[in-house]
């Protein structure tokens, strides 16, 4: 899953945060970042246009910085993996890809019945559950963010990505935390350079790259243990457009179990116990999840601020669809290989569901490049199901 741009090296963050905050006189310009204008070769390299009406605002040199971030991640992937064995830079460890049915509510409120949200419409879907850490060898009991990536099939209409306009898929990408740890492209590039540096002194700079709020958000994102991917709650963290024309609005998404279950962790968990939990559940029963939309209710809820949660009391979520995951055996070599070859990006989307904000705009460049590099290294075809 090309998701959330890049996970944090939390071991470094935890080791050095106390020391770094004790240092005086340090600023985010402690290390300068070289700005390159090299364009990444891509069929879909048009940078997204902003929507000022919905509150989007382009940052200085944002496109160039996104290109630089993509190059840093590409270098990291090529150093970490050999040909034929490349994994995703983020969320490389999947708990499984499962078949699902995505059913839009018959009585969906009119304000949400836009794009693919057609009342009483059913779609087939693939859902990938994962850990966020870039170390696929980590045991599932380790604290980490958890992801869900939903690929809806059979969605008609021209899509946003220039190279995949005729694709019939729509992706939704979420994590089990409501906010992200960075808004600013320059800060993110600084963070990426620190994370991927082999210089320990650079690791000390990570909290300064993120800032105080970003560091606190990062610790919150990372501080998660779940008993079963089917029973966690997930958020889009960043906003999306819903609809077209004058009635378009900014929204966020969430997914949760239809009936919440206690998060009882096993006493002696296996290394891959989340895959085991997912497998055991779906071998014995079906699963049900709710898909929710949170419409923005105030212009104070900024589309460019992915680090601040939209208060659910002021802006409640509404259920608009139900996800039915039937009883199945997903853990087969063929299906696991199929899962690894899938690419997820919020830009697999209809114009009615255009991603909003700087994080999403950078994702368009970064995810496209990550997917291309990974598939090229593995000599695997890159195509939508």
Task: Give the phi and the psi of residue 361 in degrees, each rounded to 5.
Answer: -65, -40
Under a CB-based contact definition with an 8 Å cutoff, are residues 143 and 277 in contact?
Answer: no
Contact 168, 126 (CB under 8 A): no
Please name the helix (run of DSSP H) or strand (run of DSSP E) that holds residue 288, with its range, or none: strand 287-295
Domain that holds residue 154: 56-378
Domain-embedded: residue 12: no
Whether 13 is covered by a domain: the verdict is no
Rounded Cα distance, 176 and 233, in Å: 6
> HSE-up of 134 (CA within 13 Å, CB side)?
21
The pTM for the full model equals 0.88
CB 182 within 8 A of CB 65: no
Question: Would you give the distance in Å from CA 262 to the centre of its chain?
Answer: 25
The number of C-alpha atoms within 13 Å of 98 and in the hemisphere containing its C-beta is 27
6 within some domain? no
| Distance, first Cα to last Cα, the chain | 15
Report H helices in 223-356. 273-284, 333-341
Strand partners, 171: 151
Nearest Cα to Cα of residue 278 among 312, 327, 322, 315: 327
Q: In this structure, are residues 373 and 75 in contact, taking their beta carbons and an 8 Å threshold?
A: no
Q: Is 131 a member of any domain?
A: yes
Domain annotation covers residue 270: yes
188, part of any domain: yes
Domain-located, residue 60: yes
Decide if 345 contacts 368 (C-beta within 8 A).
Answer: yes
Distance CA 67, CA 300 (A): 30
The CATH number given to whatever domain includes residue 265 is 2.40.180.10
H-helix segments, 223-299: 273-284
* Helix axes 358-377 and 62-80, enclosed angle (nearest 10): 30
Per-residue pLDDT of the chain (385 residues; tens, 9 = 90+): 554 444 444 444 433 333 333 323 333 333 334 444 445 544 446 899 999 999 999 999 999 999 999 999 999 899 999 999 999 988 999 999 999 999 999 999 999 999 999 999 999 999 999 999 989 999 999 999 999 999 999 999 999 999 899 999 999 999 999 999 888 899 889 888 888 778 887 878 888 788 888 888 888 878 889 999 999 999 999 999 999 999 999 999 999 999 988 889 999 999 999 999 999 999 999 999 999 999 999 999 999 999 999 999 999 999 999 999 999 999 999 999 999 999 999 999 999 999 999 999 999 999 999 999 999 999 999 889 9
Domain count, the chain: 1
């Amino acid at each position: 899953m090309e998701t959330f741009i890049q996970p944090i090296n939390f071991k470094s963050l935890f080791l050095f945060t106390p020391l770094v905050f004790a240092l005086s006189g340090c600023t985010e310009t402690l290390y300068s970042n070289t700005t390159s204008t090299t364009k990444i070769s891509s069929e879909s390299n048009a940078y997204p246009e902003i929507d000022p009406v919905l509150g989007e605002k382009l940052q200085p040199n944002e496109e160039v910085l996104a290109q630089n971030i993509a190059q840093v991640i590409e270098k990291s992937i090529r150093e970490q993996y050999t040909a034929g064995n490349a994994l995703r830079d983020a969320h490389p460890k999947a708990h499984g890809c499962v078949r699902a049915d995505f059913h839009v509510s018959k009585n969906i409120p009119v304000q949400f019945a836009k794009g693919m949200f057609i009342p009483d419409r059913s779609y087939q879907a693939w859902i990938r559950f994962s850990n966020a850490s870039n170390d696929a060898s980590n045991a599932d009991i380790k604290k980490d963010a958890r992801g869900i990536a939903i690929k809806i099939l059979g969605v008609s209409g021209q899509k946003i990505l220039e190279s995949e306009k005729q694709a019939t898929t729509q992706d939704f990408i979420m994590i089990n935390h409501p906010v992200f740890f960075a808004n600013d492209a320059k800060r993110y590039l600084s963070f990426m350079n620190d994370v991927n540096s082999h210089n320990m002194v650079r690791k000390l700079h990570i909290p300064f790259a993120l800032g105080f709020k970003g560091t606190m958000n990062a610790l919150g994102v990372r501080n998660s243990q779940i008993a079963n991917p089917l029973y966690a709650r997930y958020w889009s963290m960043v906003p999306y457009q819903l609809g077209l024309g004058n009635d378009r609005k900014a929204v966020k998404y969430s997914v949760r179990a239809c009936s919440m279950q206690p998060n009882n962790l096993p006493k002696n968990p296996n290394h891959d116990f989340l895959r085991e939990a997912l497998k055991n559940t779906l071998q014995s029963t079906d699963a049900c999840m709710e898909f929710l939309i949170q419409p923005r209710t105030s212009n104070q809820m900024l589309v460019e601020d992915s680090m601040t949660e939209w208060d659910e009391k002021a802006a409640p979520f509404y259920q608009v669809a139900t996800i039915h995951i039937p009883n199945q055996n997903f853990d087969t070599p063929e299906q696991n290989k199929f899962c690894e070859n899938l690419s997820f990006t919020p830009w697999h989307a209809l114009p009615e569901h255009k991603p909003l904000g700087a994080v999403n705009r950078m994702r368009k460049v970064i995810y496209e490049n990550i997917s291309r590099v990974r598939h090229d290294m593995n000599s695997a075809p890159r195509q939508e199901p």
